[in-house]
Homo-oligomer: A and B are copies of this chain.
Amino acid sequence: MYAIGVNLDLTNIIAGVVDESGTILSKESIPTLRYRPVSEIMSDLAVLVKRVAFAAGVDFDTEIDHVGIGTYGTIDRRSGTLIYSSHFGFRDVPLLAEIKKHISIPVYIENDANCYALAESRWGSTKGYKNSVIVTLGTAISGGIMVNKEVYHGAFFGAGELGHHVIVMDGEKCDCGRCGCWAAYASSTALVRDARIAAIRHPESEMFRMVNGDLRLMSYRIPFEAAKKGDVYAAEIVHMFKRYVALGLINIVNILQPDAIAIGGKLRKIGHEFIDDVAALVYEKAFGQQENANTKVMLASMDYDAVIIGAAMLQAWKEE
């Protein structure tokens, strides 16, 4: 048997047929067009999962055990309701009920970062660790917490909102409406903001030159590349960015002390050197560090395909 995992994100709906070893056999995507009614999005999603099964040469009705969907926001795993999503702007949307109008096999819905954590814990960087955390660093910051190798959901399925813990009281405005959140410092959005500000202040900088003065072209890669070329302003941006990322990780260590934290998401592409520097800061600064007994900080093994793979691993909700 196979399962289909779906990553329903803000831009695209990506579905994959996943086998029992966590391998994606076939993958298809369509744009989310998220400002449409949820019923339309779910109707399209239902067509997509059937199409991807066909593309993989798998019979949807007889060879697909279930469909799992990972999406952005707080998901009630029992009822398949999207309780709250700041980016979708949804509250109490019955996703499962909508999709069940189109699909008769079982469908399970879970927060996307929890799917990511599940996939990494089973087949990726955090495999074998009892307690682990996945942090997805991208335009936002999400997190999935594994306790005893199970997703930890918290009281109302809202645990793991790591990006919205505050590291600078009354600091930078966050898109959640509060101030000083980790995501307002350590997301790619924050990095781009800081790089733009530095480029405005220092038109002599390599960063400014690299975007030809058009700040719309600034990306999270530019400060890293400019720093390598010797741009002192970019070096400072990168230095502070590493400190911001590390600080949130230190807080997670001091509160939860998992066996391992893996960094996934878009910023994972910056690579090992970046994570090694961040890890060194965590090892140095976290509370009560001991030799050979520190939370490991590492790159996640997978990119956002982990959401598809984790979603495909979802099972019927059992009361925790």
* CB proximity to B under 8 Å, residues A135-151: 143, 145, 147-148
Interface 9-mer from A16-24, A230-238, A283-291: A283-291
* Copies of this subunit: 2
Minimum Cβ distance to chain B for residue A75 (Å): 11
Measured between beta carbons, the chain B residues less than 8 angstroms from A131 are 154-155
Is the beta-carbon distance between A293 and B161 smaller than 8 angstroms? no
If A147-B152, A158-B288 touch, whether A255 touches B255 (CB-CB below 8 Å) is yes
Q: Binding site of A, secondary structure by majority: helix, strand, loop or mixed?
A: loop
Q: Does A304 sit within 8 A of B, measured CB to CB?
A: no
A155-B255 CB under 8 A given contacts A86-B288, A288-B83: no
Closest Cβ–Cβ distance, residue A228 to chain B (whole Å): 26
Q: How far is the CA of A294 from the CA of B148 in the complex (A)?
A: 24
Q: Are A247 and B320 in contact (CB under 8 A)?
A: no
Decide: B259 and A166 in contact? CB cutoff 8 A.
no
Residues facing B in A282-311 (CB within 8 A) are 285, 287-288, 290, 293-295
Closest chain-B Cβ to A130's Cβ sits at a distance in Å of 7
Task: Say how far A42's CB is from chain B's closest CB, in angstroms.
Answer: 22
Given contacts A162-B255, A254-B164, contact A156 B247 (CB under 8 A): no
Contact of A167 among B130, B157, B166, B243 (CB under 8 A): B166
Interface contact A84-B288, CB-CB below 8 Å: yes
Interface residues on A, range: 35 or more
Which of A161, A171, A258 has most chain B Cβ within 10 Å? A161
Interface membership of A159, Cβ < 8 A: yes
CA distance A224 to B153 in the complex (A): 37
Known: A130-B320, A155-B293, A251-B255. 14 other contacts (CB 8 A): A83-B290, A130-B155, A145-B256, A155-B258, A156-B294, A158-B254, A158-B257, A158-B288, A161-B254, A167-B169, A176-B287, A178-B285, A251-B251, A255-B256
Q: Which positions in A face B, CB cutoff 8 Å?
A: 73-74, 83-84, 86, 130-131, 143, 145, 147-148, 152-162, 164-169, 171, 176, 178, 185, 243-244, 247, 250-252, 254-259, 285, 287-288, 290, 293-295, 320
